[in-house]
Amino acid sequence: MQLGKSLKNIINGYHCSNFYSLLHCIFTILLSAVSYYLSTEYWYFSWIALLLLCVYALKGSLVSTFLTGFFSYLFGSSNPHAVLPLTVYWPLIVINATAFASVLAIFRHIAVRWRGGYASFVFASGLTAYEFIASLYSPHGAVNSIAYTQISNLPIIQIASITGI
């Protein structure tokens, strides 16, 4: 009974149902996708993209958060300056976009449910855990990791030299 009620609230909730929320979804997708797209050249854009998505996740529903995260990652990771051509790794982009959106949705669920400051660690650790597991089984290794966008960020590089990617 309770599961049916919560599922109904998710479906009827804030999920891009009216014009304002649809515009908010599209704006967030475009801005974060452009930021993520530019993050291979300029490290601070990856922080902007992730911050935008996390802030949106706190206000949107579970469905809109998942869709916004999915399309932001999908469009943003199609940068032509990436290591491999897009035709080679497009299935990997779709899988990574699904995993990214799932971690964002889990972050949203935990942040709304428990309202603790530690919820931000859920997103960071979930994304890091997925990228680590994906690098173990991917034939391309860790080539699609967001950590490579931070090459020019010297404080982060110093931390990564101690802790690893």
Interval 149-159: pLDDT, tens: 777 888 888 88
Q: pTM, whole model, 2 decimals?
A: 0.78
What are the residue boundaries of the structural domains of the chain, listed by start?
2-163
81 phi and psi angles, rounded to 5 deg: -85, 5
Q: 136 is written with which tokens?
A: 């173990």
Interval 96-130: pLDDT, tens: 899 999 999 999 999 888 877 788 788 888 988 98
Interval 39-93: pLDDT, tens: 878 888 888 988 999 899 988 888 989 999 999 988 888 775 556 676 777 888 8
The pLDDT value given to residue 135: 83
